[in-house]
Chains A and B, each alone.
Chain A
Amino acid sequence: MKAHITVPSLNVIKEIQARMVILLCLALSFLMVTFTVNAQKVITKSQDTILPLITLNEVILISAKQELQYQKQYKPLSSLDEYLEFSRKVDMIKRGAYAWEPTLNNMTSERLSVTIDGMKVFGACTDKMDPITSYVDVSNLSKAHIISGQKGAAYGSTIGGAINLELDKSNFKGTGFKASIENSYETNNKLKVIGAEANFSNTDFYVDSDIVYRKAENYSDGDGKEIAFSQYEKYNVSINGGYKTNPKNAITATLIFDEAHNIGYPALPMDVSLARALITSIGFENDSIGAFSNFKSKIYYNTVTHIMDDSKRPDVPIRMDMPGWSDTYGFMSEAKLKTKKHSFLLKWDGFYNQSLAEMTMYPNNPNERSMFMLTWPDIRTLNSGIYAEDDISFKKSSFNISTRVAIQNSTIADEFGLNSLKIFYPNINKNQVRVLKSLSVQWHKNFVPYRLNFGLSYGDRAPSVSEAYGFYLFNSFDNHDYIGDPKLKNEESLEANAKISIEKSNYELGIESTAFRMPNYIIGEIDTSLSTMTIGADGVKIYKNLTYANLINVAINGQYKIFPELVLDGQVSYHRGKDNKNRNLPFISPLSYSSSIQYNKKRFSGTFKIRGAAKQVNFNSDFGEDQTLAYTVFSLNFGKTFYLNNDLVYAKMGVENLFDKKYSTYTDWKNIPRMGRNFFITLTYSMY
């Protein structure tokens, strides 16, 4: 019996030891980088008069720092999800009105690296109900960088690319004290948003703070039918600060606290009573250390709690709770080195993540004990990588080469979870090590007015926690339980991208394509020998490596300035994904298009927008898809800025889904209809 008592305390001690060792390692590496870089004494002149590299990256501007930028915002206090949806390459998977999951190049979370200011944050929900984009608010952010394919390896191993959400910081710009209050209301789901921010910055000190609160009722679709369980409520507080210890060195710190309650997921059988994240970091920045410039280093910690339950659902076959937790400790250091032709970026980063999720089911017979399982068996992922990039500039062309090498160790820390997985894999080890690689070459050539971009890359990724270790995770989309496989091979990607564009003073036209061949593509395949766990599920799938899968995205976009203040733009995109057996991949967009006409003059702006898609031809019912019909929706908005006692007031109003169309897109989980007609009004009052 004594042995039983000592074992838990031993675990606790080991836990403490492990945590300390990690903290120590992080601190050490942080210091080491500082010293190593300090030791460099090479001095070169940095200048560049040659052609700068034109990247294919897309930047979504989120914060409006100047009056003019307000005009460009379509809907200033909309959710981050809505902002991301404006990206040409990003689509959002919707399970409800809140916490949409971004896809990039038609690939979802496990194939992307989504970071906040370069920091890794991992959602704590086994059913992807909390993509990390749901733990920040637009009030925290200045930009979203959308980086397609292996170029995204700057932010971690990836297949589809990276989305980095850049925090909004005053960065010693010396803008003094600024404050603003924002307010917004939307009619369809009675969404109320209220936010405030206060910023102060001078040349050696800044502090930015903001707070925002959102509350929405159920929304209604185009037929006026209320979508039950689509409500949510959230608030977010953030504070950023920086202090210059001397003209060259600065210390920075970030804290974001985000908490959402009572979030309905109409497309899923369960809701979320609490989704909470605390995101923190401390950084060190230096303008130049030796030959290096823009030296930045930071350590970070974030913790996510996600409580999924079905307590509000009136009729369920069995009551259950599915809480999840994810904690991440990390560091990153980067420095740039510029010579006449070269522009190097060197980055070293690492993180340690703990992911734990459990499921408790309460039998209808009150005399029976509750049923418990670990759905994520306390997986500890330790990853450290080095990323290097060089831009080489020539007279009329430029060349970019980048590479990442990372080592990832995964451990099943929970004995209960290890034993659970041993039911399927009797010989698995607690630990496994993977090496992750990425290499990308991009070439850019300029023959005025034409531009040509071409790139080739290779990269791989480790399976996600769910793909490797998930234990009976129910996917309501294809109505199957999913089991992970720790022995999965890394998924690889061979990628080619090209863009040709013409740029004249009053118009731009471009065609762009990205093609992926993904050997060892990871996807769930039905195992008919297994019995479903979830009541009503159709079967059990186990994650497998396919021989390969192919995915191609082609987009044509153009912009025409009818007058300097009247701009017409449009885009059409085509996507196709197939596996080695010619089956369609899930979540691949049908032919889609969008067009807008924008008017911007001084203090007035207006936009008319059309968005739509053709009927989905290529879909796969094995993965739970059915055909999505064609749709076109229209929206309209107007904005006006004016001054009130020297303070800036900005008003924007508009209507979305103008003709109250009932529709759903290929990214809508279980065809949940999108919002019907919605009027919004936003007021911003800024004090300088």
Chain B
Amino acid sequence: MKSFKLILVAIILSVTFSSCTKDDDSSVDNENLLANYTLLKTLKSNNYNIEVYSEEEEFTVGYNELFIRIKEGTSENYLPNAEFSWKPIMHMTQMVHSCPKSEIVKIKNESIYKGYIVFQMPGNTDEYWELTINFSIDNKEYKATTQIDVKAPLDDKRRVNTFMGSDDSRYVLAMLPINPKVSLNDFSAVLFKMENMMNFPIVENYKVMLDPRMPGMGNHSSPNNVDLIYDTNDKTYKGKLSLTMTGYWKINLKLINDVAETIKGEDITEENPESSLFFELEF
């Protein structure tokens, strides 16, 4: 009888817990939408405040998914009818350059706008990033500029590659953030060609071949990886990354162009334990 009661209590508890979980999942609350994100920067212009949020704690080298919202003065109402464009600029001691970035698009039915920037390098004492956001509200154009602090990733693992390809073009290849698990993970990357210091158009229809390895354990690989293929819908390269255990993984890459020529990267062999093009993960 006692155990029956215990079971009953357990069932009730589990129902309570599971229903709580469901509530949390389904509550798409406008106010709380960015509650779990960090406000990285507020830009001010003409009494408008532009807030830039990220899932990360700071602007980081690599792919940064950023969320933007705008309000007027001290008002609590965020504006749903703004239009944005942006330009990140790196002020180096010898030169100035930009980096790959997306358009900024509005999230459906929200006053939140979204886009990404791929920083190739961190700032330092002599060199810094500057972010300019151009926006228009009610057909009026405004501009806000601020200096931002871009940090190297805390784990110091490579998330972005800037390189010269065998076709003498410069490319930027960045992985999308991943919450790695011991499983077959969804894995994506974005690829840009560096046309000049300021323009980084998306490269379409190439292929990124994966060969994840564990250098700490005989440089073994993992099975059933799926190479990254260009997806026209969201303009990213998508595939599957299989990780058979936790730890440090070097994801060796080979970039192949649309006519099957190798642009960058080498096969892994006994003699060649790593590719010159790679990402890193540790979990």
Contact = CB atoms under 8 A, between A and B. Distances in A.
Contact of B218 (A317, A373, A419): A317
Given A420-B244, A423-B224, A423-B242, A13 B283 contact: no
A423 B181 contact: no
B29 to A, nearest CB: 13
A116 B136 CA distance: 81
B24 A3 contact: yes
B283 A531 contact: no
A196 B14 CA distance: 50
A580 interface: no
A3 B21 contact: yes
Chief secondary structure at chain B's binding surface: mixed
Interface in B226-283: 242, 244-248, 282-283
Interface in A1-46: 1-3, 6-7, 9-10, 13-14, 16-17, 20-21, 23-24
Contact of A423 (B6, B18, B20, B223): B223
Of B222, B242, B248, B282, which is in contact with the most chain A CB atoms at under 10 Å from its CB?
Answer: B248
B33 interface: no
A361 B247 contact: yes
B217 A371 contact: yes
A24 B244 contact: no
Given A3-B24, A6-B21, A533-B220, A373 B13 contact: no
A2 B20 contact: yes
Contact of A373 (B14, B184, B242, B244): B244
B10 interface: yes
A306 B81 CA distance: 64
Nearest to B243: A423
Given A361-B247, A372-B245, A373-B182, A13 B14 contact: yes
Contacts of A535: 217-218, 220
Nearest to B212: A531
Interface in B205-229: 214, 216-218, 220-224
Interface in B1-25: 3-4, 6-7, 10-11, 13-14, 17-18, 20-21, 24-25
Interface in B138-191: 181-184
B247 A370 contact: yes
Contacts of A368: 216, 247-248, 282
Given A369-B283, A536-B218, A363 B182 contact: no
Interface string B17-40: 110110011000000000010000
B246 A372 contact: yes
B217 A361 contact: yes
A24 B2 CA distance: 11
A426 to B, nearest CB: 7
Given A20-B6, A422-B184, A535-B217, A363 B247 contact: yes
Interface residues of B, number: 36
A371 B182 CA distance: 11
A433 interface: no
B247 A369 contact: yes
Contacts of B218: 317-318, 532-536
Interface string A398-424: 000000000000000000100110111
B17 A10 contact: yes
B10 A20 contact: yes
Contact of A6 (B7, B20, B217, B242): B20
A31 to B, nearest CB: 14
A149 to B, nearest CB: 38
Contacts of B17: 6, 9-10, 13
Nearest to B12: A13
A646 interface: no
Contact of B216 (A13, A371, A534): A371
A13 B20 contact: no
Interface residues of A, number: 46
A66 interface: no
Contacts of B214: 371
Contacts of B18: 6, 10
Contacts of B242: 423
Contact of B184 (A2, A374, A423): A423
Contacts of A14: 14
A213 B145 CA distance: 79
Contacts of A419: 181-184
A472 interface: yes
B183 A17 contact: no
Contact of A7 (B21, B221, B246): B21
B240 to A, nearest CB: 9
B222 A531 contact: yes
B217 A533 contact: yes
Nearest to B183: A419
Contacts of A13: 10, 13-14, 17
Contact of B245 (A2, A17, A373): A373
Nearest to A372: B246
A645 interface: no
B20 to A, nearest CB: 6
A191 B107 CA distance: 76
B171 to A, nearest CB: 28
Nearest to A374: B182
Nearest first, the 8 closest Cβ-Cβ pairs linking A and B are A419-B183, A371-B247, A363-B216, A531-B221, A535-B218, A373-B245, A372-B246, A368-B248
Given A371-B217, A532-B218, 19 more contacts: A1-B36, A3-B24, A6-B20, A9-B17, A10-B17, A20-B3, A20-B6, A20-B10, A318-B217, A370-B247, A371-B247, A372-B182, A372-B245, A373-B182, A373-B244, A373-B245, A533-B217, A533-B218, A535-B217
10 contacts: A363-B248, A369-B246, A372-B246, A419-B183, A420-B183, A422-B184, A531-B222, A531-B223, A532-B218, A533-B218
Interface of B: 3-4, 6-7, 10-11, 13-14, 17-18, 20-21, 24-25, 36, 181-184, 214, 216-218, 220-224, 242, 244-248, 282-283
